[in-house]
Structures are given as structure tokens and as C-alpha cells.
Structure 1
Amino acid sequence: MNRSQRRLRRTGITDADFEKQSIDEQLATLEAQTEVAQATTIGAINNHRRGIIDPLDEIATVNARYETTSTRIAQQSTTSSQQISRLDHIGRLLRTIVRMAKTNANLRDIAEQLLHGDIAVASSAISEANEMLLELEDDIYVRALHKQFVWARAAARAEVERIFGEMIEIQQKGSLSEMTVTFVAMGRYDGEPFENAVTLGDLVFAMRELDLVYSHMDQLADSIADQWLLPLLQSPALPLNISQMRHAASLSVGAFKRAANDSLVALTTSEKAAEHCSLVQEQWSKVLGFVHDYVFYECADDYADLLLHMGRRLWKRVWPTLNQTMVSRLAPDVAALSDAQCLTPLAEIEHAWVSAGLLPAVTCVPQAARELLQTHVAARRCDLLSAASEILASEDSSCSLVGPLCDAFEGKKKGKGAKGTAGMMDTETMVFPRCSVSTQAQMLVDFAHETISLTSSPSDLLHVHAVRDAFALYRCLIPQRLSVLDTKQAFIVHNDCMYFCHHLPTLAFRVRPHWPEELQATSTFVDLLASFRVLAKEALSLVLDHVRKVVIREMGVWNQQNCLQDGLEEAERNLQIACAQVAQTAHIADAHLPSQTHLGVVGLLLDVVAALVTRRLQEVSVAGDSRARALLRLIAPLLDLDRLFLCASDPESTNTAKRKRAPIAKYSSEWNNLQAQITRLSSSM
């Protein structure tokens, strides 16, 4: 009895009889035949013996009749929803049965394919079976198929790994490392010879389908790096031999005794290091060519991604040693690193890997140069900041006079005469005025000028940032000390900040033409001026607010209305003490502040006293001759403060005849009001 007769016997109806049935009869027949096909498929899954009846033929017959019924229902307009529902159920069940039968057939064929050496076909069948299993619902029969799938995949993986070990063999014999690649494998499976030879392309395809390719390529790359590339980096003169036969090729390197000048220890100059790199590139190119031509024999173009993956693995393995041993020898200092050609030998090695398709782009060598430069920059910047910190941590109480008047006085003592002084006074607005500046601030400005003058092309930005950091460090430290500074120290802090503001705009003008264009456009210190001006104003405001409060407190009864109606003894004593406080502060300001700033300070403090005195004098409406004379004598200490507005061109001159008086009303807003009250009292005398 042939297969067709057995099928007709199982189904019990011919195709002609099926077409004569009504739709409901056809649906009933399909339901019955689908159940029979399902039972047959399940039996085939559970029966592990060879030679079992393949259920795919019977399923194909049922599937053809399903298509016939589906077309007939689609053409009729009187089809009920129940019929459509029954047809959909049959279709879903039939599709599941088809997947189960195909999966079972594929899994049963794998063992046969492995027997004949068709590892590519077997691995493809396993991949297809895996996709089908993922589409099936989880039930007892799917779990049975999954067990068969696991067994078949394990058998295929074991066979592929065995063939991989035979086709790519690495041996270590004493001081000799040898790798043999066989292009075609004529092996055996279960004692039977392969009907089809296995090529390297088939092996790589099977490994990819079975998810083995990346792990094995990584192991192979690590072995090549450790036994060939790294020894050749240490000693590129090692004997390297490549031999090719008809069906195989071999690569060997012998670790014989090295010459004294053939190791990394002997690389004492950058020229020797460059020559060493050239030899390493030559030897490595042979190893990489062997990998490209023989490990991927006639399939490198088809598996370019795997070749790139292996190349990245090799480079990742050798680059740390290459970077650590060669970069510092090719560029021993930043001066050598400034030469763009110093790392060319390393760049040529990396470019050889890119040309062989083992790396996507050149990235590591430029990055190594940047990291080396950054390391130098960080160390140099740390040194510069340490120097700036030592300056700011030094004693800051000492100060000295700076500015054109001080310079003119020294020139006068050297015989330059007063004419030079007059010339400098004409340009006073263009230069820094005479005042006391702390030694600390002068050292910081000298440090800034010296640091900027050291600029060289690889570290221009380093020195610019170091100077900015030094001034930023000053701004961070000074505000914490302002609250505990005395009057002199506060005035010197003000002068220091103005001294910085004088030097910052022109700090880099002399060296700026030697900078790169992008650095010239962006590197400036002008933006620091505003913060130092604010700090100078804050230092001056704090001390003046304190002195102002002290003067107001010392004025005593002058803060009370009609305090001049009774006795004047206490008012006279309070006014003398307050004026003495103003004179003391003015003396300190005259000794340390610039002339214009000193006059402004005196005018501000004078206004505090003059405002109270003017207000109290206004309360005295009518005064006789004796009363007016008494009041004028009372305010005499205040009028004597006009001597504080004398300016000297010579900072060490004590002769008042050589001092000129500044217009008091320009700096004191209350002086004219006081003079008006004095005039009123004088008219009553």
C-alpha cells in the first residue's frame, strides 16, 4: 500500500467527495481531519525512532482542503458567523500543527546533517526551529519539542567546537608559538566520514547561527595578542615565519635569545623608539595579514563585521602596553609633544590596523597625545597654583609705595629734577596713582606677568587659566578677612584691588601676538575688573561705615536737639574728640590711599561732623556778639579740619608751603552749608 492509499484510508474521503459536501459538512470533515493530523504530529514528536511516518504530507492535504473551504465561504454572501468562527478555529489549530510538524522534522534532520558534515545546514535548521518554538504556546508538546531542540543544539555546538579546534589549532612548544589554520576539514562523526567537506566559511556561519562566534573569536584574539603581538612588541626581531600549503597555513614565532639593543629597555632616545615602532609595525602587519587572509580564508568580505570585532579585541589587548611603553619614549616631555610628528610611528601602526579592516577609525594615538598633554598641564597647573597659594599665605602686613609720584621722587633724588615730575603728573590719569600696595599683591602681579611670559603653543591656555585661578583664589580669601581688618589694612586691600585692576587689562598684550588665533580672541582678563572693583569698594565701605559710627557716637550731645542752649563745655569736648577721630583716619588715608581717594574719604567723614554741627547751629535763631563769638570758638576744631585737604606732590614732604589746597566743597557736600551758618553768626557780632 503506497503513501497516497494510506492517507485516503486515514481521512476516509477523497478530494472529489470533499468538494461535493456542503460548507457545514466540509467544516466537520476539516475538524475531524485536523484532530487526526494533530494526533499524528504528537505521535511523531513522542516517537524518537527513525523511519516514522512524516505527518507533513497529511497536514498538507488538510491545509489544501482548508484553503478550498475558506475560498468558498468568502464567495458566498449567506455565510453565518458560526461558520466563520469554526473556520478561524480550524485555521489557528492547523497553523500550530504545521509549526510543530516542521520543527520536529528540522530537529530530526539535524543528526543526519551532522553525520554528513553539513554543519551550516544543521545550524540554520536549529536557528529556524528556535524561531518556530518562540511562536508556539507553552504546553506539554512544545516542552517535548524544546527538549529535542536543546539536545540538537548541544550536539551541533559540540560538533562545531570540535571542528573549530581541528581547523584552527594553536600550540606552544617551548619557546615556539605556532598557529595552524586548515582551510577544509575532512572529518568524521560517529565513526563515519563526512560526505561534504567543511570550509572555514561554513564553520564561521555555523558558529554565528549557534551564538558561538564572538566568544571563540575573543579567545582566538587573546591568544594571538599574548603569543604573537605582545612578544613582537617587546622584541620585534624575533623570527616570524608564515608558510602556506594547499589546504592549510601556519604562523610561528620563536622566542630566541634577544640582542641587547632589541628590547624596550634599550630605547633610551626618541629616535630609537621610532625605529622600534617601525619594526613592530612591519612584524604586526604580517600577523594581521595572516588573520585576514587565512583565519578568514576566502570569507573576509562576507564577515567584515567579525573581522572588525576581532581587530578591536586585539587592539584593546595590545594598546595599553603600547601606550605605556612607547608614548612616553616618543614624547618624553611636553616640548617633544608639541612637535606634531613625534607620535607619527604610533599613528602609522594604528593606520595599518584601519587599512586591514581591523579598526573603524584612528582614535587611540591622538587621544594618548591629548592625555599626555593633559597630564603635563595638570601637573604644571598644580605647581603654578601652589606658587600662588604660597604668595597668598605669606605675611600680608608689609606694604610699600608704588605709583608715579613715588617713582618721580626717587628720580628726583637721582638728579632728574622737577621737570620729570611735572611730565609724569600730566599723565597721571594714564598710570597708577601713588599709594601703598601690599607686598603680597605686588608678588601676585609679578607672578602673573612671569607666568604669562612663559606661554608656549601647547600650554598657552594652561598659563592663562593659572593666572585667572590665582586672582580667583585671592578673591575667595580676602572677603573672609575684611571683617577683622583695621583701618590701614582695609585701605591696603582697597589699593591692592585697584592695583590688580590697573594691571589686568594689559597683562597679556606683549605675548598675545604669539598665541593661536582662537586663544587671542577668547583669552582676556578684562572680565575680572568688575569683581575687583566691587571688592575694593566693599573694603573701603566697611571701614568708613565703622569710622562713621564711631564719629557719630563721639559727637555725644550734638546728636540732641537744642544742645547749644545751655553750657557748651560738653559739646566742645565731644566735638574735639570727634574731629580728632576724623583727623586720625584722614592721616592714615593720606599715608596709604591715592590722593583723590584720600580726599573723598576726608570729605565723607567731614560731612558726618559738619551735618550735625550745621543742624545744631540752625537751631540758634538769634545770637548776640558774645554768643556768636562763643559758638565760633566752639566749632574751631571743625574748621581746622580744612588742613586735611592739603595735597603734596612730594610724598615725603612735610613743608606745608609746598602743599596745595584742594577745593573742599568738591569733596564735602556739607561744607557750604556750614560756611553759611558761620557767615550768619559773624553778621551777629
Structure 2
Amino acid sequence: MARGSRRYRRSAAAAARDDTLDFAQLSGDAQLSALEALVDDARTTTYEAIGMHSSDAPSARIYGADPLDAVATANEKYETAREQQQQQQQGDAAADAQLDNIGRALRAVVRLAKAHANLRDIDEQLQHGDVAVAASAVAEAAALLAELQSDPDSPKLIARASVEILNTILIKKRAALRAELDYVAAETYKISAHGPIADVAVAFSIASNADGVPYENHVTPSDLFFALAELGLARARVDALADGLVARCFVPLLRNSSEPVAVVRTKIGATMSIGAFVGPRSETGPADPVERCSQVRDKWAVVIDFVQSDIFHDVDVADDHADIYAYLGSRLWESLCPLLRESLLVPLVPDVAASIGDTQQLVPLLELEEKWLAAGLIAADALHIKAAVRDLLQAYVSKRRRGLLTTVASVLAIDDANTVVVGGDTSLIDASGKSAGHSKKSSKKVSADASLAFPRCSISARAQMLVDFARETIALTTVAQEDAENAPSTAALYFYAVRDSFCLFRCLTPRPGADDPKHAFVLFNDCEYICHHLATLGLRFRDKWPPALQASATLVDVVASYRSLARASISPVLARTKDRIHHALGNWTQSGWLLADIVEDQSLLDKAENSLALASSIVSQIAGVAAAYLPDSMHLRVLGLLIGPIAEAVSGRLRQAALIRDSVARALLRLVSAVLALPDCFRYQQANALSSETLAASKGARAPIAKYCPEWDALISQIDRLKKISAQISTTAF
């Protein structure tokens, strides 16, 4: 720009600032030049003020120019020029565009200057105790800086360095204000507990800061809530306050309604004490649920009045901080409503369905909820207790369901080692869910329903109790149809009580160790027994269920988890037993060890024979336990799985002894005699029969070992070869 132009702009700006001259009398170009000069001066003044503020110069506040004065002057002249432009009938497009550019630059400078002005006095405001004013200033400065950063034209109009400086200052001032508010909140509300005694103290005003320096203006709860709301911290502080009130006030009074509550109020604060008593103390309150509910209603009313009048002291909860007050109430009710249902509503629900219509004893509980509604702590659409009382039949069913599950859980939690024999012809379950009898008259029907038979085995008494409970409870899903309106939800509650009971069994049943075959086998049978009934349990009642329950209710999906549990229960025992067998076999499973080399050495021969005898005895031990508890089919599969490694190791060694004498063959036959006795374990210990005639005929029968142990045929072929060698040579020698 030429020097003449600069001198012209400076003179125009000086003329615009001169109060003795009328800015409106200047020409259009002169006005625009003057406005540009004023905006530049305001921008420069703002930059200088920000720089001095960032350096914490002590003279900045005393001697530094106020950017707002320059901004106000420029803004006033800009409005004058804008009015004159609008009054002109024929505008100049270039002049209009230049004025718009000046307006955008001015608005950016205004935001920057206001943000600086808001942050400039934060420290002083905190020293005076004006936390509400400081919070408003911080919030406004943050909004102005956010507008500057989101404006795409801002980098062309404002130096980015100045914006970054103010952002840094904003972070520091916000942190200082938050620390001050944390101190004020901690001093305003103190919730403490000393053993069974809890105190909630509220200070109506805070007179000094954390360093003990007095405030010029005391901080009140209203100032605190306003400042927290401005910074967006109100809900976090209310959450902490709600958690303290629930844990120290409401829950202790709910658990023991006899706890005394005392409130002491003074001009400077109030204190509520819970549990401060003299004399003997009751641990739970009255046994009568109605009286207990009445006591809780009265004690909670005292706490609610304390919240309304003291925690929100000098606050108009219906106007000033209605949102914070309502949020506190919703947080409290959200935590307490489930406890109310469990501790007060359930005991008040009648134990007999015929008494459901009498709701007189529920009046204290309804009055308790009405007190919360009258205090404004909950809304009319949050009356969950009233809704539960309205649907008292469901509450009755829920109470009975809870009682049933509690009984199931208590029984399952007992480590009961008792077992019962089920399945076979003694407890065959037909399609209707009934046990088949032993008479000849029913034998044909039993045979026809053989596909639904469960094999004879031993299960735990707990598993039998669980299935009995499931049968009785699922039968109630059809009784619920008497009330057509509540039938779907009532039937669903009973149905899901059955599902929950099966989940409880899986959770509460201890897992067996690898050295506990009995427990593992019984748990395996339990899982198979439960799976058997899960597959057919709903078959009998499905047609009588409500349509919604018919469409979604199933128990078959639970079968997979029980199958997995069955495998997990028996696999460690079998793996551990196979490891023991492998260790007992010793050299029989190692390479480079030939039978022909040890036949002539009696000590080595005895050692090899003892190894086979030990491995065979391990199988016999497991066979005895499996025969006593497992069904025949699983018992035989387990034996085949355990005998397989022995048969494979022995047949492999015998195969290596190709060219041997008759004496060696006889020695080898004596050596493996313990293994050859293992087929005796394959006798049916429990006849999986469908009639008493079949049961009698099957006693003493032996299952084909090759069916369950594929390695056995290879061993028998080697044994036959040894027998032929021994027989042929012996005949020739004779």
C-alpha cells in the first residue's frame, strides 16, 4: 500500500475515533477505510492483551488497554455503515463485499476479545468466591473459542497463535475452577460412617478456600450446582452424592427399619444421623412385613425431606435446578426400586393365590412411593411399585418362582454324594412323562416306547430332585391359563424358572478331579439324564401354552451345554487313567525293547509280567467303578478305550517275536495271561433291558470286546499264532 493510502486510512481512523466528528458524514470509501483501521486496531489491541495475559505480567490489568473498548467502537461504527448501506437504493457491489469482509473480520475479533475478557478475571473471581460467575465465564469462553475453531475463515482473519494461547489458558482456568468446585462440594456435603452410625452433613455456605483465605462472597449450594451445571459436571457430582445416600442412608434403613434417624439444623448447616442410638439394638427390625414397611416409609420420608430442604438448601427445585434435582431422584430410585421389590414387596405378596385381591397390606408401600412422587424425586411414569401392585398376580408368581429357585439353589449347594438308580425297566419315561411299570401288561407299550427309554445307571440325588422340580414347575404353566389376561406372562415366569434351575445346576455342581472316577461318572450320568428330559420335557405341555410361549419357548438349546459338561466331567478321568496305564506298561511302550531278549532272563521276564499285571489291574479298578455307576453302553466304551493301549502295545511286541521256539511261545502266553483275562470285565453288570424276562436272560452275558476295542483283534491274532507254534512243536517233539 502506498504511503499516501496509509496516511489516508490513519486520518480516516482518527476521524472515526474522534467524538467531535460524525462518522455518518464520511463518504462511503472513507467509512470503509476507517472501519478497516478500527478492526486492525482492535485486533492488535486484543493480541497485545492476550500476550500480556499469557506472560502473567502484573501490570497487564492496570496499564494494558481493554480490547473490548476498541471492539465496541469498531462494532458501533460498523452498524452505522451497515444501516446507511441498507438505506441506499442503489448499492455498490464492491463496497458491499468489502463491508461484508469487514463484518466477518470484526465478528472474529469480537469472539477473540470476549473470550480473553472472560478468562482474564477467573483467578480474581475464584478468590472472591464467585464460582458461579467464573463457571459462566469459562463456559462462554469455551463456546467462543469453539466457534472460532469451527469457522473455516478464522485462520484468514485471526492469528492461530492467539487462539492457541487462549485455549491453553482455558485449560488451566478450567482445571483451577474444577479443583475449587471439588473442594467446595467436599466441604458442602460430607457423608461419613463410623461402624453402624452414618452422618450426612450439609454446610449452607462455604466461607473460605482450601488455603483458609476467606471469600468475599460465601459459596452456597445454589452457586455450586449452577457452576457444576455450567461446566457439565453436575451429573458426575450427583452420581457420587446418590451413591453415598443409597449406601449410608436408604439401604441401612431398608435392612433395619428400627434404626433411629435424627436431623439437627442450624443457621449454617444441617446434619442427619442414622443409627445413633442408646440401649439395645435390633438387627433387622420388626418381623411383621407390614409394620416393617411402615417403618421404612416413615424413616425414608425423613431422608427425603432432608434431601429436599437441606441438600438443596436455598435452591428452588421446581425452577432453578429442576433437572439436577430430578436426576438425583431418578438415580436414587433406580438403585432402590429393585431393593424395594425384593425386601418389601415380595414379603407382602400373599402366599395363597386366593388372597391376591386383598391389597390392604400393600398400602404402606404405595404411600412410600407416593412420598417420592410428591417430593418431585420421581416422575409419574416411574411408579414401578404401583405397577407391580397392579399386576399382583405376576408378583405372586414371581415370588413363588423365587422361592422355588431358592429351594433348588439351597439343595444343590449341599455336597450330597447320595446316588439313585434310574433308567432301564425301573424308570422308563414314556411320552407322557410317566414312569413305566413292571407288569407284563405294560411290556408291549414299554417296548413301543423304547426310543424314549433312558439306560439304567446311577445318578445323584440332586439331579433327580432337579428333574422332579422341573416336571412340577412346568406343569404350572398350564394352571396359569385360568387368568386369561396374565396367562402369557405367568406361564413364561414358570417356564423360565425351569430354565434357571438348569442353569443353577451347572453353576453349583462342583467339577470332579482327575483322580475321582466315581464323581466324574455320576456327573456324566447326571448330564445325560438331564439332556434326556430336556429333549422331551415340554412335549407334554406345549399344546396348552399361550401362543407367544409356544413360538419362543424351548429347552432343547440347553442340551448342548450339558453335553459339553458331560464330556468335560469324564475326559480328565479317562486321560489320567490312560497316563497311569502308559506309565505302568513301562518298556512295553518303548522302542528297541524285544521280547525275545528277555525270555531267557527270569528277572526281566518277571518285570515285564508285573507291568502288564499292573496295567490290567488299573483297568479292572476303573471297570469296577464304571460298572457300578455308568450305563452298560458307556461302561463298555470306557473299557474299550482303556484296554486299547494295552492291546496295541502287547500285540506290537508279539509281532516282533517272529521266529521263536515252542518254549518261548509258552513263556509269552504265560506273560500276557493278565491281558487275556481282561475280556471278563466286559460282562453286563447292569442289564439295559426293557422287561424282566430279558433282564433274567441277559445276566452273565459278555459283550464282544472287539466291538469296543478295535486293537483287540490284532492281539488275538498274535495269541493264536503263539498257540499254533506251541502246539505244533510240542506234537512233533512228542
TM-score by length of 1: 0.53
Separation (CA, whole Å) in 2 of partners of 1:460 and 1:327: 19
1:322 correspondence with 2:340: yes
Q: Distance in 1 between matches of 2:269 and 2:345?
A: 38
Aligned equivalent of 1:281: 297
Distance 2:430 2:94 in 1: 92
Q: Structure 1, residues 572-626: CA drift from partner, whole Å, max 9, x if none?
A: xxxxxxxxxxxxxxxxxxxxxxxxxxxxxxxxxxxxxxxxxxxxxxxxxxxxxxx
**Correspondence 1:525-674 to 2 at 5 A:** none
Q: Indicate how the Cα distance of structure 1 residues 259 and 347 shifts in structure 2: closer, same or farther if over 3 A, else same.
A: farther
AA in 2 matched with 1:111: D
**Structure 1, residues 127-156: CA drift from partner, whole Å, max 9, x if none?**
222222222136332222222222222222
Q: Is the 8 A contact 1:178 1:252 kept in 2?
A: yes
Q: Which has the larger radius of gyration?
A: 1
Contact 1:334 1:373 in 2 (8 A): no
Partners of 2:118 and 2:234 lie apart in 1 by 22
Q: Do the aligned residues in 2 keep the contact of 1:123 with 1:209 (CA within 8 Å)?
A: yes
* Contact kept? 2:203, 2:269, Cα under 8 Å: yes
Q: Give the deviation of 1:244 after TM superposition.
A: 0.8
8 Å contact kept, 2:397–2:490: no
Separation in structure 2 between the aligned mates of residue 450 and residue 238 of structure 1, nearest angstrom: 41
Question: Contact 2:253–2:259 (CA<8 Å) still a contact in 1?
Answer: yes
Rounded Cα–Cα distance in structure 2 between residues aligned with 1:333 and 1:371? 11
Instruction: Tell me if 1:22 matches 2:3.
Output: no
Aligned mates of 2:344, 2:403 — CA distance in 1: 21
- Does the C-alpha gap of structure 1 residues 324 and 10 become closer, same or farther in structure 2, counting only changes over 3 Å? farther
Deviations 1:174-200 (A, max 9, x none): 442111111122224766422222222
Q: 1:463 to 1:326 in 2, by over 3 A?
A: closer
Letter matched to residue 391 of structure 1: S
2:41 aligns to what? 36
What SS does the corresponding residue of 1:195 show, helix, strand or coil? strand
Note the 1:184-583 alignment, pairs <5 A.
184-188=205-209, 192-254=213-275, 262-264=282-284, 267=287, 272-299=288-315, 300-302=317-319, 303-331=321-349, 333=351, 335=353, 338-341=356-359, 342-360=361-379, 361-364=382-385, 366-367=387-388, 369=392, 370=394, 372-373=396-397, 376=400, 391=432, 461=487
Aligned partner letter, 2:61: R
Shift of 1:450: 12
Q: CA–CA distance in 1 between the matches of 2:196 and 2:247?
A: 13
- Asked if the contact 1:175–1:256 (Cα under 8 Å) also holds between the matched residues in 2, the reply is no
The alpha carbon displacement at 1:353 in A equals: 1.6
Q: 1:148 aligns with which of 166, 169, 181?
A: 169
Q: Match of 2:114?
A: 102
Amino acid at match of 1:246: K
For structure 1, list consecutive stretches of 5 or more residues without a partner in the other structure.
1-7, 381-386, 401-438, 441-446, 470-503, 508-518, 523-685
Q: Is the 8 A contact 1:239 1:254 kept in 2?
A: yes
Going from structure 1 to structure 2, the CA distance change for 1:173 and 1:462 (only over 3 Å counts) comes to: closer
Deviations along 1:310-341, whole A, 9 cap, x unmatched? 12222222333332233332226352772441
Change in CA separation of 1:87 and 1:246 when aligned onto 2, cut-off 3 Å = same
Query: After superposition, what is the alpha-carbon deviation per residue over 1:145-168, rounded to whole angstroms, capped at 9, x for unaligned?
Result: 222222222222211221121122
| Residue of structure 1 in register with 2:71 after alignment | 59
Distance 1:367 1:454 in 2: 18
1:169 aligns with 2:174: no
**Matches of 2:352 and 2:66, distance apart in 1:** 77
> By how many angstroms is 1:245 displaced?
0.9
Question: Partners of 1:85 and 1:159 in 2: how far apart?
Answer: 48
- Could you tell me whether the CA contact under 8 Å between 1:233 and 1:280 is conserved in 2? yes
Q: Post-superposition shift, 1:91?
A: 0.7
Q: 1:220 to 1:458 in 2, by over 3 A?
A: farther
2:333 maps to a residue whose letter is W
Cα distance in 2, alignment partners of residues 224 and 82 from structure 1 = 67
* Structure 1 CA distance for aligned equivalents of residues 357 and 121 of structure 2: 66
Q: Cα distance, 1:37 vs. partner?
A: 1.5
CA distance in 1, matches of 2:143, 2:331: 30
Query: Could you tell me which amino acid in structure 1 is paired with residue 214 of structure 2?
Result: P
Contact 1:338 1:457 in 2 (8 A): no
Contact 1:377 1:462 in 2 (8 A): no
One-letter code aligned to 1:12: A
Deviations 1:408-451 (A, max 9, x none): xxxxxxxxxxxxxxxxxxxxxxxxxxxxxxx99xxxxxx9x999
Give secondary structure in 1 for the equivalent of 2:270: strand
Aligned equivalents of 1:184, 1:72: Cα separation in 2: 54
Q: Provide the rounded CA distance (Å) in 2 between the counterparts of 1:463 and 1:94.
A: 67
Change (3 A) 1:106 1:280: same
Percent sequence identity over matched residues? Answer: 34
For residues 450 and 221 of structure 1, the distance between their equivalents in structure 2, rounded to whole angstroms, comes to 41
For residues 429-478 of structure 1, what are the alpha-carbon distances to aligned partners after superposition, in whole Å with 9 as ceiling and x for unaligned?
xxxxxxxxxx99xxxxxx9x999899765998479989xx9xxxxxxxxx
Task: Check 1:126–1:336 CA distance in 2 against 1; reply closer, same or farther (3 A cut).
Answer: farther
Question: Alpha carbons of 1:326 and 1:45: their partners in 2 closer, same or farther (altered >3 Å)?
Answer: same
Q: Please tell me whether the aligned partners of residues 179 and 252 of structure 1 are also in contact (alpha carbons under 8 angstroms).
A: yes
The answer as to whether partners of 1:228 and 1:253 remain within 8 angstroms in 2 is yes
Give the counterpart letter for 2:14 in structure 1.
G
Q: How many residues align?
A: 420
Supply the distance in 1 between the matched residues of 2:476 and 2:326 (Cα, whole angstroms): 51
| Gaps in structure 2 of 5+ consecutive residues | 1-9, 54-59, 150-154, 405-427, 442-447, 450-471, 496-542, 548-734
Relative to structure 1, the CA distance from residue 263 to residue 323 in structure 2 (aligned partners, 3 Å threshold; closer, same or farther) is farther
Give the AA of the match of 2:44. A
**What is the CA–CA distance in structure 2 between the aligned matches of 1:347 and 1:21, rounded to whole Å?**
77
Q: 1:306 to 1:21 in 2, by over 3 A?
A: closer
Once residues 80 and 292 of structure 1 are traced to their aligned partners in structure 2, the CA distance between those partners, rounded to angstroms, is: 64
Quickly say closer, same or farther: Cα 1:452–1:44, change in 2 above 3 A: closer
What is the Cα deviation at residue 242 of structure 1?
0.6
Relative distance call for 1:338 and 1:99 in structure 2 (3 A) is same
1:89 lines up with 2:71 in the alignment: no
Amino acid at match of 2:97: S
Provide the secondary structure at the position in 2 that maps to 1:196.
Answer: strand
Match of 2:716 in 1: none
CA distance in 1, matches of 2:297, 2:212: 46
Q: Distance in 1 between matches of 2:203 and 2:490?
A: 62
Q: TM-score, normalised by structure 2?
A: 0.50
Aligned residue in 2 for 1:649? none
CA RMSD across the alignment: 4.6
The one-letter code matched in structure 2 to 1:155 is A
Q: Partner of 2:201 in structure 1?
A: 180
Q: Is the 8 A contact 2:242 2:332 kept in 1?
A: yes
CA distance in 2, matches of 1:110, 1:159: 12
Question: Which position in structure 2 is the counterpart of 1:491?
Answer: none
Whole-Å Cα distance in 1 between the matches of residues 128 and 28 of structure 2? 48
Secondary structure at 1:177's aligned position in 2?
A: strand
Q: Helix, strand or coil: the match of 1:186?
A: strand
Shift of 1:86: 0.8
Q: Secondary structure at the match of 1:207?
A: helix
